[in-house]
Structure 1
Amino acid sequence: MNGKVFILALSTIAAGLVELIVGGILPEIASDFDITLSSAGQLITVFALIYAIAGPVLLVMTSNIERKKLYLVTLFIFFLGNTLTYFAPNFTIMMILRIITAMSTALIVVLSLTIAAKVVAPAHQAKALGLIYMGISSSLVLGVPVGILISNIFGWRIIFLGIAVVSVGSMMLIALFLEKIPGGKTVPLSVQLKAVGSAKIGSAHLATLFMLAGHYTLYAYFTPFLETNLHLNSYWISICYFAFGIAAISGGAFGGSLADRIGSKKAIIIVISAFAVILSILPFSTFSLVAFFPVMMVWAALSWALAPPQQSYLIQTDPETSDIQQSFNNSALQIGISLGSGIGGIVLNQTGTVTSTAWFGSAIVIISLLCAIFSLSRPGMNARTRKRQSA
């Protein structure tokens, strides 16, 4: 595998941390700024919303800029945002800085994905994308536990200074080892939006959205699920989260390797189908931690296994707008996370049992499977189709 892909993956670890790490330090932030916990939680909500919108928009606006230069500038803005967060005097300033870091994070991730797809041979494309998603999912393992540990020892602000330092290392590696990559020709936004709205590509994005929505219908309430069904204490819950994160990291690599081996289309169907099944049987494995643990690990691995074959499929389907499609798919992932968390809360309130979230999540994943089948069965994007879109 091209070493440049590993450098890009390392950059996405810092980008992922800045989003997820806040979840572990919300009480400290609320206390420091003398605000409610729910108000502090808006730092997560606003970040996810800006992230989802900014990725596609910024990619279109910067499409003709040389990629290495753009990456370095974006990393520098990311560095400034996190450094200034360390000194944020009040909540309003911190919220503004979160918006800036969300925008730069979105561009860093989508640039990592698009550059990784360009610097490897087509046969290794899905595997390269899998490594990028390994970098993102690594923050699942590191984010909350590291945030809590560092915050307890040094205070929450030092975390953002540490992320800024990591981004400097990324800038140095990108500057030294990544060659210049010319920007692509600017495809009119109207053409790109029409491509997203096409039956084939639009339904592919919906498959990603509903897959993550089904996952987070349960995962957002994983702690009460473990407490209710397995009666675990905080020590064992931490172990489950850590193991889940490790499996999620491997899932990204597995999805990429599977797509390279059997093709992205078959991989998409296999991953989504298996994910629906594993969610539906998960509650039946909670009679014993020994039975639950391997089922949980499969669930975790599959949760991140769709992204690489899905990204590869989008590239193959419409190479002309592939960069923006990867960005839109990443946005669909973020929206799916928000949607699933909301649905899980509704299910929990209506049923009074957290176990039901797994079955509702499985049903949502079946919708994802139907969207994927619909997309795969549509005719491919050809020159005539693209000409009709641009008319």
Structure 2
Amino acid sequence: MTLSPRYQILLLAMTTFVAGANEYILAGILDLVAPGLNAPVALTGQLITLYAFVYGLCVPLVIALSSHIGRRTVMITAMTVYGLASMLTLLVNDFWAFVPLRIIQALSGGTAVVTALSTAATLAGVQRQGRAIATVIMGFTASLIVAVPIGREIALRFGWHAVFPLIGLLSLATALSHRIVLPALSPAASIPLREQLAILRRPAIIGGLMVTVLWMAGYVTTYSYLTPYLIDVQHLPSEWVSPVLLAFGVASLAGSRLGGSRTDRHGFHATLVVSKLLQMLFLATLPLAAWVLAPGSLAAVAAILMLWSISAWAAGPAQQVRAAAMIPGAQGVLVGLNQSGMQIGIAIGTALGGLATQTFGLADLPWLSVALILASLILMAALRSRAPQGYASGSIAGR
């Protein structure tokens, strides 16, 4: 079966939807999984950190080792392994038995996502790669909006053991769809493994990845604790938190699409500068709203959160395109490293948010996020002044 690149890219978005579901759902059913694993909630929560660190540190190695294999084959294999590991959780009743399956999920799911992102950029071509990457990233946001609440309802009705095998079935169906719909794809990179690993020794690459780590850590620092922040600091009624979070998720879809279009039209640098400035503005507005507005000002807080979500997710496609532009001919490797940077940022941001909450309280979380995003913006500007002309211009094509 042959479909146009547009529909092939939509199928790639299904890959990120399934992978995102497995990563995000655990946070939504943590209180239900912990008793099932005979472990405290705090320990069970470390499965989220484990996933992020394994993804961030080990997936680049998997991408490097598989760089001589066609990308369709890599995605089919990764999604099949991912699906089988997810279905095996049906047999798990102990925390330590879950750990190896979680590691396999992170390695296979991360490999599938990185390959899907680089494939989307290739299928779309240079002029439309920002929108293509945005479409694939929208799979993540869709999983956040759809999979998490549905997963919790399934867990409440049928037990948490029913959730991950269902994701496994979706993974296997996605792998089969790749086999039927996607064309045979060339390997993601022809760079030898030693040279790929040597990329990480370049200061400019480390600096570029730190831009991603700081940006994502800034986002997650507040987002990870958004529910208690809204209830305890903004004093929103608890029954309105879920609708507000749903609106936040819907806004993220719009942000991803907007970010992709702006990246194609104006280049990644301009898009990132505007996006990060707006993120800092709206994050700073949150504590100001808590001081100035009456407690529980639902409409105002919801509006601020939606604007923050749009600006934050608009940076996603631009950040991916920026990473791919750092070294010509190493797009697949660099997209993988950037994904790893995001996962490490998630782990760091969650840890910093928890530490700040215990030390200073929830009210100061947005200021910490602002500081991290500002550091990301300053580092990005410093690196741009030293970058080659084509890269500094803000697009792979150097336009």
User: Which bin holds the TM-score, normalised by the shorter protein?
Assistant: over 0.9
Q: Is the 8 A contact 2:279 2:312 kept in 1?
A: yes
Matches within 5 A, 1:204-219: 204-219=208-223
Is the contact made by 1:200 and 1:376 (CA closer than 8 Å) also made in structure 2?
no
The residue type equivalent to 1:360 in the other structure is L
Q: Which residue of 2 aligns with 1:137?
A: 141
Q: Offset at 1:304?
A: 1.9
Q: 1:346 to 1:89 in 2, by over 3 A?
A: closer
Task: Please tell me whether the aligned partners of residues 271 and 302 of structure 1 are also in contact (alpha carbons under 8 angstroms).
Answer: yes
Please say if 1:99 is aligned against 2:100: no
Out of 304, 309, 320, the residue aligned to residue 329 of structure 2 is 320
| Aligned partner (choices 24, 27, 31) of residue 27 of structure 1 | 31
CA distance in 1, matches of 2:72, 2:261: 27
Equivalent residue number for residue 344 of structure 1: 353
Q: CA deviation at 1:81?
A: 0.5
Partner residue in 1 for 2:315: 306
Deviations 1:294-340 (A, max 9, x none): 11101112222212112112223312222111111111111111111
1:297 aligns with 2:301: no
Equivalent position of 1:44 in the other structure: 48
Q: Distance in 2 between matches of 1:379 and 1:27?
A: 47
Q: Which among 83, 86, 92 is matched to residue 88 of structure 1? A: 92
Q: Distance in 2 between matches of 1:304 and 1:122?
A: 21
Higher mean alpha-carbon deviation, 354-363 vs 284-293, is at: 284-293
Q: CA deviation at 1:9?
A: 0.2
Corresponding residue for 1:368? 376
- Provide the C-alpha distance between the structure 1 equivalents of 2:48 and 2:126, rounded to a whole number of angstroms: 36
**Number of residues of Structure 1 aligned to a counterpart in Structure 2:** 381
Matches within 5 A, 1:50-69: 50-69=54-73
- The Cα shift of 1:199 comes to 4.1
Check conservation: 2:142, 2:253, Cα contact below 8 A.
yes
- CA–CA distance in structure 2, aligned partners of residues 86 and 6 of structure 1: 30
In structure 2, the residue matched to 1:75 is 79
| 2-structure distance, mates of 1:250, 1:218 | 20
**Structure 1 residue 105: deviation in Å?**
0.6
Structure 2 CA distance for aligned equivalents of residues 3 and 356 of structure 1: 44
TM-superposed deviation, 1:134: 0.6
CA distance in 1 between counterparts of 2:323 and 2:28 reads 34
Q: Is the counterpart of residue 238 in structure 1 residue 242 in structure 2? A: yes
Structure 1 unaligned regions, length at least 5: 383-391
Pairwise CA RMSD of aligned residues?
1.8
Q: Which moved more, 1:278-287 or 1:13-22?
A: 278-287
Q: Look up the equivalent residue of 2:316 and give its one-letter code.
A: A
Unmatched runs of 5 consecutive residues or more in structure 2: 391-399
Match runs of 1:161-176 below 5 Å = 161-176=165-180
Deviation, 1:190, is 4.1
Amino acid at match of 2:115: L
SS of the residue corresponding to residue 100 of structure 2 reads: helix
Q: Offset of 1:381 from its aligned partner?
A: 8.4
Q: Distance in 2 between the 1:73 and 1:346 partners?
A: 39
Q: Matches of 2:188 and 2:172 in 1, distance apart?
A: 27
Q: Any idea what the Cα deviations from partners look like across 1:173-203, whole Å, max 9, x if unmatched?
A: 2111100012155423443344344343332
1:344 to 1:185, Cα distance in 2 relative to 1, 3 A: closer
Task: Tell me, in whole angstroms, the C-alpha distance in 1 between the residues paired with 2:39 and 2:345.
Answer: 28
Q: For 2:256 and 2:147, locate their aligned partners in 1 and report how far apart those are by CA, in whole Å.
A: 17
User: What SS is found at the alignment partner of 2:191?
Assistant: coil
Asked whether the equivalents of residues 82 and 161 of structure 1 are also in contact (C-alpha less than 8 Å), the reply is yes
CA contact (8 A) 1:30 1:37 kept: yes
Asked whether the equivalents of residues 74 and 108 of structure 1 are also in contact (C-alpha less than 8 Å), the reply is yes
Note the 1:152-301 alignment, pairs <5 A. 152-184=156-188, 186-286=190-290, 287=293, 288-301=297-310
TM-score (norm 2): 0.91
- Are residue 359 (structure 1) and residue 367 (structure 2) matched? yes
Following TM superposition, by how much is the alpha carbon of 1:147 offset from its aligned partner in structure 2, in angstroms?
2.3
- The residue matched to 1:159 in structure 2 has which SS? helix
The Cα shift of 1:90 comes to 3.0
Q: Aligned residue for 2:129? A: 125
Partner of 1:386: none
Alpha-carbon separation, structure 2, partners of 1:372 and 1:197: 18
**Contact persistence 2:38–2:93 (CA under 8 A):** no
Matched residue type, 1:336: G
Q: Per-residue displacement from partner, 1:248-298 (whole Å, max 9, x unpaired)?
A: 122211111110111112111111121122211222234222222211101
Deviation of 1:228 (Å): 2.1
Report the counterpart of residue 385 of structure 2 in structure 1. Answer: 377
Deviation, structure 1 residue 89: 4.3
The answer to whether the Cα contact below 8 Å between 2:24 and 2:148 also exists between their aligned partners in 1 is yes
Give the letter for the 1:326 counterpart.
Answer: V
Structure 1 SS opposite 2:124: coil
In structure 2, what is the Cα distance between the partners aligned to 1:89 and 1:281? 44
1:205 shift after superposition: 1.4
